[in-house]
A and B are shown apart, each in its own frame.
Chain A
Amino acid sequence: MMSRRAKAAGGGLSLSRKRRRPRSDPAIPTINVVFLLLLFFILAGTVTAPQEAAIDPARTGDGPGGRLPRPLLTITTDAALGLDGQSISRDGLGAAVAELARQSDGKRPVIHVLAARDLPADTLVWALGEISAAGAATSLVVLKADRPGERTRP
């Protein structure tokens, strides 16, 4: 039994022409994964200055963790200070905090202190005192760990 098209073609066998679908680029799955990675880093991470990334803060064991807050005062183990990535001297800490307080439109700014875990406590207490004296509130930034003292890669 011949088909109508075969009959029209004079009795010969004709194969129906398959329409070619455009082939998708084989790199697209890779691009999707890279997009997801990009989204992850943008949403979960905080862009930090190299000086801030080098600090290994204290660990405590409770509560939910969040992103690295701003404004951020960093204190390294050798007591070098940095405010939002800019190095400042010990003498300039009060003036830098007072400047932030002036810019905050009458509200008391909160300075977040990220101190190295092996910084002598005296230096930390001195820095907290200087910030309070300059008119800002302070918070200590810690790293959340399951057990206090546990090494967590920052």
Chain B
Amino acid sequence: MRGAGRKLRRRFVLTPLVDVIFLLVIFFALSSRIAPFGLIPVSGHQEAPADREAAAERRASDAQTVLVLSHGTVRAGSRIIALGDLAPAATSMREAGTGSVLVVTSRRALAEDVAQALNALRLAGIGNVRLVGRPSGAATSQTGASP
């Protein structure tokens, strides 16, 4: 009875565990996006009806500037501003009394131009931005973009 009293030692087998973990790593590596995403609020972020009414009153009293958005540039009257310079230009507009901006997209404008313009106006502290599609397009008007 040589081995009767000896305890049978079981070794923990790691290989199946490692296989499953490798498969999980491959799944997450292939199906995840780890880029830093940001959000630009566009419309409907004013929750209370009182805020909405106040914003409507402000909109009526504010001076409005029309910006025509093209690819990489914005036209304000006769002045053409590169999108990279829109934030400081919008800040000076706000300081000059502009509280409301109407952004009209032209045929050449892309989604990236819209995002950059909205972001620049938000950074400049312009409270009310209205985004409108080009007039020849099908009923594409949108209000909002309140930071």
The count of residues in chain B whose C-beta lies closer than 8 Å to any C-beta of chain A is 54
B21 in contact with A59 (CB, 8 Å): no
Identify which of residues 26-84 in chain B touch chain A, using a CB-to-CB cut-off of 8 Å: 28-29, 31-45, 47, 69, 83-84
- What's the least CB distance linking A12 to chain B, in Å? 27
A68 in contact with B105 (CB, 8 Å): no
The count of residues in chain A whose C-beta lies closer than 8 Å to any C-beta of chain B is 66
Interface residues of B (CB under 8 A from A): 14, 17-18, 21-22, 24-25, 28-29, 31-45, 47, 69, 83-84, 105-107, 109-116, 118-119, 123, 131-134, 137-144
Identify which of residues 115-149 in chain A touch chain B, using a CB-to-CB cut-off of 8 Å: 115-126, 128-129, 131-132, 136-144, 148-149
Interface residues of A (CB under 8 A from B): 25, 27-28, 30-31, 34-35, 37-38, 41-42, 44-48, 52-53, 57-69, 75, 108, 110, 112-113, 115-126, 128-129, 131-132, 136-144, 148-149, 152-154
- What's the least CB distance linking A147 to chain B, in Å? 9
Interface of B is mostly: mixed
B44 in contact with A142 (CB, 8 Å): no
A137 in contact with B105 (CB, 8 Å): no
